[in-house]
Structure 1
Amino acid sequence: MKAFSRTFLASIVMLTAASAHAADRAIIVLDASGSMWGQIDGKPKLEIAREALRSVLKTVPADTELGLMAYGHREKSSCSDIELVVPPAVASASAITAAADGMKFLGKTPLTAAVKQAAEDLKYTEEKATVILITDGLETCNADPCALGKELKQSGVDFTAHVVGFGLTADEGKQVACLAENTGGKYIQASDAKGLEEALAQTVAAPAPAPAPAPVAEPAKPEFNFVPELVMAQGGDPLKDAGNAWEIYKAAADGSKGERLTTEYNNYKGSLEAGDYVIRATLGEAGVEQPLKVEAGQVYKPTFVLNAGTLVIRPRPSEGDDIDTGATVVFDFPGADHPATYYGQTKVVLPAGEQKVKVTIGQGEASETIQLAAGQTVEKDIVAGVGRVVVNALYAQGGEKVDASGLDVKIFKARKKIDGTREQVTFGFGPDGKFDLPAGDYVAVVRMDQAEVEQPFNIRVGEAGDVTAVLDAGVLAIDAPGAKEIRVYSAKKDIQGNRKEFGYAYDQKHQTTLPTGEYAVEVDRGDAGKKDGTARVNAGERTELKID
């Protein structure tokens, strides 16, 4: 994963270095949710993020007005915990570093609302504005980052959002990449400390491009002396407007590629100075290169043979189903440094030879080996073999649906292992969670705050079903003016005289979902002392308790 991340980020740097430049005014939106305590190579992600910010902020151009916004850094269960910690200003690097170093990481992930607030703080409808979101998780507050990206792009003067997915999987990355793509920004996936630092360098501290040199008069010469053609197979027709690229390098002393001079596209015609070059032609995942010696007064019309074909993959959950636009399609082809990943129906040019293709839809996957000849087009349906379930929860049988982003759903295989545990298959958050699963028996473990229930179910390939778990729980809302801490316990003590704890809050108010039963509530007002209360929670009902 690390090697892939470095290769991926290096390629982005290569592709964007010519056009990247620092924004005049920008806000970094930092994920300070509890998930940032997760570790990469034994080190908490929050520490990696702090170190990367500290390093990259040293290189921010002096005239950049940069600010810091954070979410999830003050409260554990709030979707409104969003704060502009450092307003945009020049020379703000030390303030941002200090704020990040002192920040707590404990809450939810309202990333959509945070990006919108950052855009508004930058007056994006009046001025150019850039937001850089660093997140290690997905939206957990029932909002649509894709729709927000379109909204900000349409109503902004010159608005751009970049998204750095820190430790996200490819599938998770798709769900936030649209926020960047819909504003013309970049989505960069960082899998480790080096990847995060490189991503921040591109989005936060990219250098402004140097001014173009003044034109210098040159002696008259032919309009074009290099007119290349590209064919898929020997003797094939030249490709026109195919989306191919021409990479032009100076030749090194040993004839290999040296300094890159330029990259041009499609039906390129150019004028090259006399000298030795290496030309590389690419289309899709296929490429070919050859040397070129240019002499003054000569015109060169070389033909480049890709020795490649076109593969069209249509991923389907089951036979007869529609094409799944969210499917992951991975190609492992001859000569590749690493597999190439695409999504949904995929049409791609690949080197001729044996193609290993893997399609993943949810937790189902299917692999096929396809022989592809030069100049050939092969179309193929690949069926992942899954059914789909939609998981929801009710507070009580026949009662109200749990319609909260904090609903936690984990899917396990039904069969227990020899140690009595079950293998977790996947997970999700919020109501109407959709899960694509291979045929079999499963258990959905559904949790809302302190209430949890297991719901067994079965799924068949091509089947669409609903799984509804009944929590047998209600909501307890506590109001304790002046409280510094509220703790909830079971009313009944165990044989040792202890009571089970059911959550807490460092606030004057606390709301939580609890299993049906009797509870004791302890309120700590610091110097003013402690006070207790009791409450009965009934399934499907809201209980309000005030402790003065």
Structure 2
Amino acid sequence: MGLAPRQEIATYACQKDPKALPPEFVVVLDTSGSMGFNADISREDEDWLMRVGQKLPANNPRVKRLFSGLARIDIAKQSFANMIRNLHPKIDIRFITFGDCNAQVDHGIFDLAQRPALVSGINGLKAYGGTPLASSLEQAANQVDGRDRDAVIVMFIDGEEGCNRDVCEVSKRISREQPRLRVNVVNISKNSNPKCISENTGGRIYTAESSEQISSMLREATEEVSSSAACSGEKPEP
């Protein structure tokens, strides 16, 4: 049985009803070990690193090269700082990062006044551990309504489920139980395509082919909660 069509969530900046509640907003940031890879690693190098390279010593020349320079998590930090500055002032943001397979890290909810502290905290994050996509999505969904109130989750990830769970089944259940929740995905790995998350929840997926695309894709993924989103009949801000 296919999933029922889902109603679009209105961009809050374009909302004309003064009594409308802002959507609940959660960001899930992948902080797994692969976020330490060079931001412009090739598909072939990433595949080699996942299969072979992680078993080699850190001073192996090829391993060393693929972990040098600007890392994926560095690009994420820059992109998130820009995204947070662009959020609508009435939108609070809950921030979740990967822990291990059984314990994601919920950093709490940040309002407008607390956004500088959130940016500072993000800048201190390190890349380590596995990729619990399903569990982190589940935890994020458990923190929002998604039934009587709109909710948006943005997942910023760089790999497939790594903790033996089925993220597609989790997203299907979320779709049934929380029809007003959308999950948008920014995928920065060339070797994974977790599109079922966004497809099942009526969200959108963005896959970056280069580090230069990441910031703009994150901006598009957060359009529903942005202060500068283009409303009907308007041109988007540059």
Same fold (TM over 0.5): yes
User: In the alignment, what sits opposite 2:30?
Assistant: 31
Does structure 1 retain, via aligned residues, the 8 Å contact 2:33–2:129? Answer: yes
SS in structure 2 at match of 1:182: helix
Matched, 1:44 2:71: yes
**1:87 shift after superposition:** 1.5
**1:208 shift after superposition:** 4.4
Structure 1 segments of 4+ aligned residues over 4 angstroms from their partners: none
**1:67 shift after superposition:** 1.8
- TM-score, scaled relative to structure 2: 0.71
CA distance in 2 between counterparts of 1:88 and 1:115 reads 19
Kindly report which structure 2 residues correspond to 1:181-220, keeping only aligned pairs within 5 A, or say none: 181-205=199-223, 206=226, 207-210=228-231
Letter aligned with residue 193 of structure 1: S
CA distance in 2 between counterparts of 1:154 and 1:88 reads 28
CA distance in 2 between counterparts of 1:29 and 1:114 reads 7
CA distance in 1 between counterparts of 2:114 and 2:195 reads 28
User: In the alignment, what sits opposite 1:66?
Assistant: 93
* CA displacement 1:306-329 (0-9 Å, x = unmatched): xxxxxxxxxxxxxxxxxxxxxxxx
- TM-score, scaled relative to structure 1: 0.32
**1:192 shift after superposition:** 2.6
**1:156 shift after superposition:** 0.7
Does structure 1 retain, via aligned residues, the 8 Å contact 2:23–2:149? Answer: no
Does structure 1 retain, via aligned residues, the 8 Å contact 2:206–2:221? Answer: no
Matched, 1:134 2:161: no
User: In the alignment, what sits opposite 1:179?
Assistant: 197
Which protein is richer in helix relative to its size? 2
141, 161, 168: which one aligns with 2:183: 161
SS in structure 2 at match of 1:63: coil
Letter aligned with residue 36 of structure 2: W
**1:191 shift after superposition:** 2.6
SS in structure 2 at match of 1:39: coil
Does structure 1 retain, via aligned residues, the 8 Å contact 2:110–2:118? Answer: no
Letter aligned with residue 47 of structure 1: D
Letter aligned with residue 66 of structure 1: I
- Percent identity over the alignment is 24
User: In the alignment, what sits opposite 1:143?
Assistant: 165
Kindly report which structure 2 residues correspond to 1:504-519, keeping only aligned pairs within 5 A, or say none: none
Describe the shift of the 1:91–1:124 C-alpha distance in structure 2 as closer, same or farther (beyond 3 A): farther
SS in structure 1 at match of 2:94: strand
User: In the alignment, what sits opposite 2:83?
Assistant: 56
SS in structure 2 at match of 1:195: helix
User: In the alignment, what sits opposite 1:427?
Assistant: none
| Superposition RMSD in Å | 2.4
Q: How many residues align?
A: 187
- Structure 2: which 5+ runs fail to align? 1-8, 13-21, 41-68
Letter aligned with residue 129 of structure 2: G
Does structure 2 retain, via aligned residues, the 8 Å contact 1:69–1:83? Answer: yes
11, 30, 50: which one aligns with 1:21: 11
CA distance in 2 between counterparts of 1:88 and 1:113 reads 22
Does structure 1 retain, via aligned residues, the 8 Å contact 2:97–2:106? Answer: yes
Does structure 2 retain, via aligned residues, the 8 Å contact 1:20–1:208? Answer: no
**1:209 shift after superposition:** 4.8
Does structure 1 retain, via aligned residues, the 8 Å contact 2:92–2:112? Answer: yes
Higher relative contact order (CA 8 A, sep 6+): 2
Letter aligned with residue 21 of structure 1: T
User: In the alignment, what sits opposite 1:79?
Assistant: 101
Describe the shift of the 1:88–1:167 C-alpha distance in structure 2 as closer, same or farther (beyond 3 A): same
Does structure 1 retain, via aligned residues, the 8 Å contact 2:158–2:187? Answer: yes
**1:56 shift after superposition:** 2.1
CA distance in 2 between counterparts of 1:186 and 1:141 reads 24
